[in-house]
Amino acid sequence: MDLTLFQKKDVLPRLVMDKLASVAVDYKEKNSEIDASRRQGSAHLKAAVVLLLNFKQFNDRSEYVFQLIKRSASVSQAGDLSCPGGMLQPKQDNVLSSFLKTEMLPALRGRMARHIQNVDDETGNLIRLFLTTALREAWEEIGLSPMNTKFLGALPTYSLHFISRTIFPVVCCSRRPFSFTLSSEVEKVLEIPLSFFFESANYATLDVQMTVGENNDPFRYQTPCLVVPDGSGEEEILWGATFNIIRNFLHIIADGDVPPVESSRTLTKVLGNRYISSRG
């Protein structure tokens, strides 16, 4: 892929919109599946996140970055890097999503509004609903105004079976730079250039060790990850759902031309009992 596209402020959003407009999202099918499972007693939850792009000025160039959050110690998955977002609040988000349908907010106007109108009504309504959830949560977590966003498209869902949750991801770009206002759920914001994901040296293997319950043996597995300098001499690890959602997004816009995740470097992450039991 021509990585200079990430340095073109007006070109990349149009490319992303065109690529995502051709992707068949599974919102209707997955939403129905979850509803059916919940009627049978499942506690499976629905969440939405916004994969947020921002055009960032660096010392020697300007480039699009992913704006991710580091989750604070007050919420579950503390210390993880993730997209802004959270759980669906059906009553509240259904009311708020009606504003998107009227195009009163700039997040969903023009080409993408017309694209959503070309899908079936249920899918279109679900895209608006989960876009609403993601933007509401982003406003609460980092102070992103819905008036400062442009919707670029929806990505296929991503399910986490270990914690019974399905993520409905949407992609947006911020129209203007903005000052972050962090909630207690967010430790800090990290900005990762899109080109960073196309450098093989930035990948590693993460050896995850997790304790589930006091009397159970630790659960252990290995998974690919991205090693991200935090700007102060330390490193952050991007892994799990957010890592996979971003890689899927890049595969779509780059027509599969993304470096394979191969690395001889192995890192270790130990997760305690509170990793999935804290609120949030």
39: in domain? yes
pTM equals 0.93
280: in domain? no
- Domain span at 113: 3-197
| Model pLDDT for residues 21-71, shown as the tens digit of each residue | 999 899 999 999 999 999 999 999 999 999 999 999 877 889 999 999 999
User: Would you say 105 and 146 are in contact if contact means Cβ atoms under 8 Å apart?
Assistant: yes
pLDDT band at 107 (very low <50, low <70, confident <90, very high): low
E strand segments, the chain: 45-57, 62-71, 81-82, 85-87, 149-154, 158-160, 165-174, 186-193, 203-210, 219-229, 235-238, 266-271
12: in domain? yes
How confident is the model at residue 162, as a pLDDT? 76
CATH number at residue 26: 3.90.79.10
254: in domain? no
How confident is the model at residue 275, as a pLDDT? 79
Determine the 3-state secondary structure of 182 from DSSP. coil
Tally of domains within the chain: 1
- Other CB atoms closer than 10 Å to residue 102's CB: what's the count? 8
Nearest to 9 by CA among 63, 48, 49, 53: 63
142: in domain? yes
| Model pLDDT for residues 116-154, shown as the tens digit of each residue | 767 888 999 999 999 999 999 999 999 999 989 999 999
104: in domain? yes
Where are the alpha helices (H) located in 173-271, listed in sequence order? 240-253
* CB neighbour list of residue 167: distance below 8 Å, 6 or more residues apart: 47, 48, 49, 85, 157, 158, 159, 160, 241, 245
260: in domain? no
